[in-house]
């Protein structure tokens, strides 16, 4: 098996090698009447399939640097790996060292695009990854009608791009309008969640969940910090 690296020269060589072997097998043993017995045919067919898997694998490393050529049905195929442009990928190949890249930034759809008929039809990206214990989800969708409650009229779900990160119970979600932080709380009493803007809350309450705001001299908002619940609890214990 050739070495697995991702420099494009080697990728190109690997792909060419595999394709040559596939052609060889096909011409020699798989073309009509070439195999001597049925068993022979099956054996070479199996090898051909394995080579096909290798071809898929190496193609995942191809950056299609030479562009595409026109093939039948108006499709375009990469000059190097022969993959059809825009064809759905079934696997993702990642380097072990260094930052990994999966997909590209897909913005929230423009408002002008009309509502899709269903959630499924509206979905542009719906993906998730578990990364060293943290969970990251990305969802990009057009607007669509949704029936949240049975028997009730459907409501329109607005187009959006939502990114969610979950780490040790803390959930952060970022969408077109909000950055939401969800805390791993104690047992929530059903239906009893209160809300309010910071300046509306009494100081006594604010002291229970310390939030630090960063701002500039002209009142520019720079960010905020929340103390982890564990730090919170130990604080409470010592007081
Ligand atoms: Zn390619």
Per-residue pLDDT tens over the stretch 61-89: 888 889 999 988 889 999 999 988 888 87
How close is the Cα of 82 to the center of ligand 1, in Å? 6
| Total-model pTM | 0.68
Q: Select from 162, 160, 184, 188 the least CA-distant residue to 171.
A: 184
Rounded Cα distance between 163 and 179, Å, is 10
Query: Hey, what are 151's tokens?
Result: 């028997």
What integer pLDDT is reported at residue 102 of this predicted model? 87
What integer pLDDT is reported at residue 230 of this predicted model? 57
- pLDDT tens by residue, 135-175: 999 999 999 998 777 677 788 899 999 999 999 989 999 99
How close is the Cα of 48 to the center of ligand 1, in Å? 20
Q: Choose the weakest-confidence range: 44-48, 173-177, 207-211.
A: 207-211
CB 106, CB 140: distance < 8 Å: yes
What integer pLDDT is reported at residue 98 of this predicted model? 82
What integer pLDDT is reported at residue 3 of this predicted model? 47
What integer pLDDT is reported at residue 187 of this predicted model? 64
How close is the Cα of 153 to the center of ligand 1, in Å? 48
**Residue 10, Cβ neighbours under 10 Å: how many?**
15
What integer pLDDT is reported at residue 63 of this predicted model? 86
Percentage of residues in the chain having pLDDT higher than 90: 49
Q: Choose the weakest-confidence range: 11-15, 128-132, 230-234.
A: 230-234
How close is the Cα of 101 to the center of ligand 1, in Å? 17
Mean pLDDT, the chain, rounded, equals 86
Give the start-end residues of each E strand in 72-159.
76-78, 123-131, 134-141, 144-146, 155-157
- pLDDT tens by residue, 88-120: 877 787 778 888 888 889 999 998 888 898 899
How close is the Cα of 81 to the center of ligand 1, in Å? 4
Residue 172: phi and psi, rounded to 5, are -125, 130
């Amino acid at each position: 098996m050739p070495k697995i690296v991702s420099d494009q020269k080697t990728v190109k060589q690997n792909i060419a090698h595999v394709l040559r072997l596939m052609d060889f097998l096909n011409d020699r043993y798989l073309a009509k009447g070439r195999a001597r017995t049925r068993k022979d045919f099956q054996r070479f067919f199996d090898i051909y399939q394995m080579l096909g898997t290798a071809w898929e694998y190496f193609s995942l490393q191809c950056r299609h640097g030479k562009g595409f050529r026109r093939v039948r049905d108006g499709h375009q195929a990469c000059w190097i790996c022969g993959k059809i442009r825009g064809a759905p990928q079934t696997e993702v190949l990642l380097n072990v060292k260094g930052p990994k890249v999966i997909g590209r930034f897909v913005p929230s759809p423009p408002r002008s695009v009309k509502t899709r008929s269903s959630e499924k039809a509206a979905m542009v990206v719906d993906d998730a990854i578990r990364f060293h214990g943290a969970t990251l989800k990305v969802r990009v969708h057009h607007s669509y009608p949704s029936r949240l409650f049975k028997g009730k009229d459907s409501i329109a779900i607005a187009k959006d791009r939502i990114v969610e990160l979950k780490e040790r119970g803390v959930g952060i979600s970022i969408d077109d309008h909000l950055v939401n932080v969800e805390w791993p709380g104690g047992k929530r009493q059903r239906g009893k969640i209160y809300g309010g803007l910071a300046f509306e809350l009494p100081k006594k309450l604010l002291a229970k969940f310390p939030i630090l705001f960063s701002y500039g001299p002209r009142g520019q908002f720079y960010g905020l910090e929340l103390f982890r619940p564990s730090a919170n609890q130990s604080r409470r214990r010592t007081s």
